[in-house]
A and B are shown apart, each in its own frame.
Chain A
Amino acid sequence: MQLRVQSLSHYYGPLEILSDINFTIGEGEIVCVIGPSGCGKSTLLRMLGGLEQPTSGQILEVGRPPEGSLNPLTYVFQDFALLPWRTVHGNISLVLEGHGLDKADIDARIADVLERTRLSDFVNAIPKQLSGGMKQRVAIARALAVDPAVLLMDEPLSALDSQTRELLMADLIGLWTRERFAACYITHNLNEAVRLGHHVVVLSRRPGKIREIVQIDIPLEDRDMSDPKMAKLQQDLWNMMREEALDADRELTT
């Protein structure tokens, strides 16, 4: 299944937030979205998953979601959004209940997904016992448990310290090489964008327009930051962002 954004614009009251956005998230492809603060990235992501309706334009699912997908468009939130009163097991079973699966099936899915994210030892932990990185791993496991067609991630690593971020980054790349999920990945971090993205969508400051879509052809598993090609890519993105960020910084946010 692909996800296509078609001439999408959005207003909050008189304020134009997003203007004429067009791009497609292909099957098994990670699209990173970068842009200055307040340009509407989170808003765009909320619309991609149907949590909010755009003022005009539309978002189309192209093709059928994979067989057995319980929730084709699935979020991973910046602040994890785990229920503090449920264990790791309970947090994952939350999103599996109500689909008519029997208990054995749910338990099997949870065991499988915890295995894939190397969390099996933490089944019965509750969120307050887990570090930030662990919580986000659980949130990623929860997202994978419903067999999503497209993962929607809003700065999933930005609440974490840089070492943990590095570890999770490696986990994500490893996961992708095994599972080839499609994703829309919003970030402020250009390094994350060039390491994870097959395409990087660069948005201008508010109202967010597409400034450029950069394609990166190097396979994810071969990307190495010591490669001058990668460094150049990141530099190019930074040059693009720099001026937008400077201007955005000077504007009042309303």
Chain B
Amino acid sequence: MSATDFDSTTSSAGQADTETRPVPFRGGGFKPIDIRFVGLGVFVVLIAFWEWGSRSGFISSLVLPAPSEAFEAFMDLARSGDLGRHLAASLRRLVIGFVCGTTLGLIVGMLIGLNSIARAGLAPLVSAIFPIPKIALLPLFIIWFGIGEGSKVATILFGSFFPTVIATYSGIDGVDRTLIRMGQSFGLGRMAIIRKIVFPATLPAILSGMRISASISIILLVAAEMIGAEYGIGAYVLLAGNLMSTDQLIAGVAMLSILGLIVNFLISRAEKYLLSWRS
């Protein structure tokens, strides 16, 4: 090979070792991009298929009622006026339990994150109690807080408390220490550092913890409402199950899943709004 081979590609075109081709692309991917309406499309297609299957007899109505039947059951519920009562009862429990659980969780998580004594004392306790399914404790909660609202709110409260604690203090552990040192170097007080540096820096972790604790709260809400509740989506689903009226059951379950979607949507909005500074 002579040195001139480097700049003689045109003259030797046609030869196998000098053919030109673009460098194949092999990057990209691994980066979620927002594609709208695909999720919605999947839902619509699935439900349409289901409806078609039920009508054509491909899916027996004994096995699974058609979406239209479930919707009819939902409309019945709305017309009877019970829908509002069920929703109001469930939402009240959910909101009170979740707000109290998250608030307490934030406080305890902050304590553990910022104070070594609190960490030494409480972190093992949190780790010990977190994995216990709170549903298993429901009978205890009933004895302690009564069969009424108390035990139901308590279940949700405990369920959302622990994930929030863990998300908060691990978030604090992950705060960039150079920012804290910067605060100290400018003479900011401890409270100012916590309020203006540590807390905002922990917010991403807190919000993603909230996503989890919100879902846990909805699961626990239904479980708790299955015992001794007159109204509530859980009670409605339980009754439907006992009566084997699967159309009502599907209607109830769909309400839960929509509730979950709404909560998720709200948290996403909060993230977009509060965390727009993230790169």
Q: CB of B260 within 8 A of chain A? A: no
Contact check, A95 vs B277: say whether CB atoms are below 8 A apart: no
Q: Which of B86-94, B182-190, B215-223 contacts A (4 or more CB under 8 A)?
A: B182-190
Give the chain B neighbours of A127 by CB distance below 8 A: 277
Residues of A near B188 (CB, < 8 A) are 94-95, 98
Q: Contacts A79-B178, A84-B277, A126-B277 known; A71 to B200 CB distance under 8 Å?
A: no
B96 within 8 A of A: no
A58 shortest CB reach to chain B, Å:
19
Let me know if A128 and B277 touch, CB within 8 A. yes
Q: Indicate whether B279 reaches chain A with its CB closer than 8 angstroms.
A: yes
- The interface residues of chain B lying within 8 Å CB-to-CB of A81 are 178-179, 181-182
Q: Would you give the 0/1 interface string for B162-194, flagging 1 where the beta carbon is closer than 8 Å to chain A? A: 000000000000000011011111111100100
How far, in whole Å, are A145 and B49 apart by their CA atoms in the complex?
A: 66
- Which residues of A lie under 8 Å from residue B278 when comparing CB positions? 84, 128
B277 and A77 within 8 A (CB): no
* Interface majority SS (helix, strand, loop, mixed), chain A: loop
Taking a contact as CB atoms closer than 8 A, the residue among A74, A97, A98 that contacts B185 in the complex is A74
Instruction: Say if the beta carbon of A175 comes within 8 Å of chain B.
Output: no
Chain A: minimal CB distance from B271 (Å): 13
Contacts of A65 in B (CB 8 A): none
Interface string of A90-118 (1 = CB under 8 A from B): 00001101100000000000000000000
Nearest Cβ on chain B to A96's Cβ, whole angstroms: 9
Asked whether, in the complex, the Cβ of A85 is within 8 Å of the Cβ of B184, the reply is no
By beta carbon, the residue of chain B nearest A94 is B196
Cross-chain contact A51 with B279 (CB below 8 angstroms): no
Knowing A71-B186, A71-B187, say if A85 contacts B279 (CB, 8 Å). no
Distance, CA A100 to CA B179, complexed state (A): 23
Q: B178 touching A85 by the CB < 8 A rule?
A: no
Chain A's nearest CB lies how many Å from the CB of B45? 38
Interface residue? B147 (CB, 8 A): no
Is A51 in contact with B197, judged by CB distance below 8 angstroms?
no
Write the chain B residue with the least CB distance to A145. B186
Smallest Cβ-Cβ distance to A79: which chain B residue = B178
Q: How far is the CA of A127 from the CA of B196 in the complex (A)?
A: 16
CA distance A49 to B186 in the complex (A): 10
Which residues of B, 254-279, contact A by the 8 Å Cβ criterion?
Answer: 275, 277-279
B interface, by DSSP: helix, strand, loop or mixed? Answer: helix
What chain B residues lie within 8 Å of A73 (beta carbons)? 185
The answer to whether A51 touches B184 (Cβ under 8 A) is: yes
| A185 proximal to B (CB < 8 A) | no
A170 within 8 A of B: no
- Residue A225 at the chain B interface, CB threshold 8 Å: no
Chain A residue at minimal CB-CB distance from B274: A85
A51 touches B181 (CB 8 A): yes
In the complex, what distance in Å separates the CA atom of A127 from the CA atom of B277? 8
Instruction: Tell me if B279 and A128 are in contact (CB < 8 A).
Output: yes
Are B200's CB and A85's CB within 8 A? yes
Is there a chain B Cβ closer than 8 Å to A83's Cβ? yes
Q: Is the CB of A146 within 8 A of B182?
A: no
A70 to B181, CA, bound (A): 17
* A34-73 interface (Cβ within 8 A of B): 49, 51, 70-71, 73
Q: Report whether B185 and A49 are in contact in the complex, using a CB–CB cutoff of 8 Å.
A: yes
A98–B187 alpha-carbon span in the complex (Å): 9
Partner of B192, one of A71, A85, A98: A98
Whether the Cβ atoms of B189 and A98 lie closer than 8 Å is yes
Q: How far is the CB of A46 from chain B (nearest CB, A)?
A: 8
Docked-complex contact B186 and A146, CB < 8 angstroms: yes
The complex places the Cα of A199 from the Cα of B188 at a distance, in Å, of 31
Q: How far is the CA of A95 from the CA of B185 in the complex (A)?
A: 10
Is A97 a contact of B279 with CB atoms below 8 Å? no
Q: How far is the CA of A128 from the CA of B183 in the complex (A)?
A: 20
The 8 A CB mask of B191-218 against A (1 = contact, 0 = none) is 0100011001100000000000000000
Q: List 6 A-B contacts (CB under 8 A).
A: A70-B187, A75-B185, A77-B182, A81-B179, A98-B188, A146-B186
9 closest residue pairs by CB, A with B: A81-B182, A128-B279, A85-B277, A95-B186, A75-B185, A84-B277, A81-B178, A85-B200, A71-B187
Which of B's residues lie within 8 Å of A, judged by CB? Answer: 178-179, 181-189, 192, 196-197, 200-201, 275, 277-279
Residues of chain A touching chain B, judged by Cβ–Cβ distance below 8 Å, are: 49, 51, 70-71, 73-75, 77, 79, 81, 83-86, 94-95, 97-98, 126-128, 146
Apart from A70-B187, A84-B278, A128-B279: 16 A-B pairs, beta carbons within 8 A: A49-B185, A51-B181, A71-B187, A75-B182, A77-B178, A77-B181, A83-B200, A85-B200, A85-B275, A94-B188, A95-B186, A95-B188, A97-B192, A126-B277, A127-B277, A128-B277
